[in-house]
Amino acid sequence: MKRLLFVLAFIMWASVASAQKVCTPVTQGVSQNCVVTLSWTAGVPSTNIVAATGFQVRRSDASGTKIVIGTVNAPTVTMQNTFTDAGNVNHCWDIIGTAGGAASSTPSVQQCWTSPALAPPQVAVPQGLTLAAISSSSIRVTYDDTPDETGFELWGRTARGNQKYALVASLPADTVTYDWINRKRYTAYCIEVRAKIGTFNGGFSDSRCTTTSK
C-alpha cells in the first residue's frame, strides 16, 4: 500500500515535496481504505512567537468540515492517517502548532488530494432461478446467492402480451427467496433477477415463468 507524503512547516510553511496515492478496496465498488503519511518541518519561530511544543493535525473532506485526526508532541513531525472513503473524494489536511496544549500558530496552508475513483466491480449474474406457484395468488422465487453482492432486484411481468418488465422488489444482501404475492389466479408470470454491489448493477438472469393455481 502506497502512502501520500506531505511536507509542511511550522511558522514558515514549506511546499509539497511529493504525493503518492493508492488506496486498497474494502468492498468492490463501495469503499476503500487509504493510508496517508503526513510529514512536516518546524521552522524557527520569530521574535515573540512561542516555539511549538506539539502539533495538531486536521483533515476535511468534501463536506468541508475539519476534524482533528491527532496530535503529536515536538519534535515528532510525522503522522499516519488511515481512513475509509467511497472513492473520488477530495481530502485536505492542515497543521497547527501548539504550546501548552493551546494553538500557538495559525493553520498551515491546506494540502489536498482526491482519492482515486472506485473501479466498477464485477457483479456476477445470479444462477439457478426457479419459480413455483404456492397458491392462487402467490409465486415463490428462489435463486443462488452471488459473491460480494450487497442486494438483489427482482423484475417481473405477466407472460401474456408485450408488457415490459417492472421492478417487483429490492432485496437485501444474501436474500435468495421471495414470495411474490397478490397475483391474479391462474395467470402466467415471468421473473428475472440481477445482483447489485453498491450502486452498480449486474446483468439480468435468464427469465423464468410459472402460472398461479386456480
The single-letter code of the amino acid at 202 is G
Q: What is the DSSP string of 154-208?
A: EEEEESSTTPPPEEEEEEETT--EEEE-SPPTT-EEEEEEEEEETTEE-PPPPPE
- Please check the confidence at residue 20 and state whether its pLDDT lies above 90: no
Q: Specify whether the CB–CB gap between 43 and 8 falls below 8 A.
A: no
For 96, the 3-state DSSP assignment is: strand
**Quick one: the chain helix, strand, coil %, rounded to 5?**
0, 50, 50
May I ask the CATH architecture of the domain 130-211? Sandwich (2.60)
Could you tell me what percent of the chain has a pLDDT over 90? Answer: 45
Q: What is the mean pLDDT of residues 178-199?
A: 95
Note the pLDDT of residue 102: 67
CATH topology (fold) of 4-114 = Immunoglobulin-like (2.60.40)
Please give the Cα distance from 125 to 146 (Å, whole number): 7
Q: What's the whole-number average pLDDT of the chain?
A: 84
Q: Specify whether the CB–CB gap between 194 and 152 falls below 8 A.
A: yes
Over residues 98-146, the pLDDT tens digits come to 887 666 667 888 888 899 988 888 899 999 999 999 999 999 999 999 9
Please give the Cα distance from 176 to 48 (Å, whole number): 70
- Every domain of the chain with CATH number 2.60.40.10 lies at 4-114, 130-211
Q: Specify whether the CB–CB gap between 141 and 186 falls below 8 A.
A: no
Tell me how far CA of residue 156 lies from CA of 12, 164, 204, in angstroms: 66, 8, 12
Residue indicated by cell numbers 417481473: 156
| All three cell numbers of 72 | 503529536
Over residues 37-82, the pLDDT tens digits come to 888 877 655 544 556 788 888 999 878 888 999 988 888 888 888 9
- Please check the confidence at residue 14 and state whether its pLDDT lies above 60: no
Residue indicated by cell numbers 502512502: 3
Note the pLDDT of residue 9: 40
Q: Specify whether the CB–CB gap between 108 and 12 falls below 8 A.
A: no
Query: Which of 1-5, 74-78, 155-159, 173-177 comes out lowest in average pLDDT?
Result: 1-5
